[in-house]
Amino acid sequence: MKGIIFTEFMEMVEDRFSEEVVEEIIELADLPSGGAYTSLGTYSHAEVLNLVTCLSQVSGAKVEDLVQAFGEYLFGRFADVHADFFDNVSGSLDFMMKVEDYIHIEVQKLYPEATPPKLSCNRIADNEMILHYASHRPFAPLAKGLIQGCAGWFKETIEVSMDALPGTGPGTEARFHLVKVA
Ligand code: HEM
């Protein structure tokens, strides 16, 4: 998985916790990469899962809450770094409908080794959508955080319910029901 996910995770830990906590979790996780990430590098997604587990141990926060918070933070960073993707998009559901066929495609051009997940959207109504997530990685909880980060970026409230699907293992496939609350 692309290094940007790792560098942003470390930034979040430094911002929300401290530089010492960053060092502590790198030490505890005993990573094959040694924890020295660059945004254009490519690393095993298992490392970020390992780092989140270690952060949970060190901070006492639940893994689920940390992944969710990371998804929200990451969306904000994507929006800062790739502001052009947000031109002429009026709301979060419209934006999410562009991720599969436009944004994740552009991402693959920008980061050639990227293999983003599959996201398919079925718009049921102006304020309601089904988003189906499938990946070879168990990152459905991260997708939930990104969805909430997206709603927050557009200053909208979206009720998100997630149904886990079997996929190729826990967390690899899910169906999200999204309802925008007026
Ligand atoms: C709500 C909108 C979005 C959702 C739900 C979403 C979902 C995800 C998830 C869950 C992953 C983790 C990898 C996996 O599951 O296999 C991912 C990877 C990624 N996404 Fe998105 N994403 C969204 C928007 C964006 C945007 C706006 C950008 C960039 C501007 C972006 C760029 C990336 C990149 C660079 C990766 C890493 C892929 C790799 O390393 O193989 N995503 N996305």
pLDDT, one tens digit per residue, over 97-116 is 999 999 999 999 998 899 99
Is there a domain that residue 49 lies in?
Answer: yes
Quick one: how far is CA 128 from the chain centroid?
Answer: 21
> Domain range spanning residue 93?
87-181
Residue of 7, 42, 70, 107 to test ligand 1 pocket, by largest number of atoms within 8 Å of CB: 107
Would you say residue 7 has pLDDT above 90?
Answer: yes
Q: For residue 78, is it within any domain?
A: no
pLDDT at 172 over 90: yes
Is 141 contained in some domain?
Answer: yes
Number of domains in the chain: 2
Please state, in angstroms and rounded to a whole number, the distance separating the CA atoms of residues 80 and 59. Answer: 27
Domain at 97, CATH number:
3.90.1520.10
Domain identity same for 96 and 172: yes
Q: Ligand 1 atom closest to Cα of 71?
A: 10
Q: Are 111 and 172 part of one and the same domain?
A: yes
- 68 lies in some domain: no
Q: Are 86 and 102 in contact (CB under 8 A)?
A: no
pLDDT digits (tens, 9 = 90+) for 67-93: 999 999 999 999 999 999 999 999 999
Closest CA to 3 of 67, 61, 48, 54: 48
Q: What is the pLDDT of residues 158-171, one digit of tens each?
A: 999 999 999 999 99
- Ligand 1 atom with least separation from CA of 81: 30
Domain closes at, from 25, 43, 61:
61
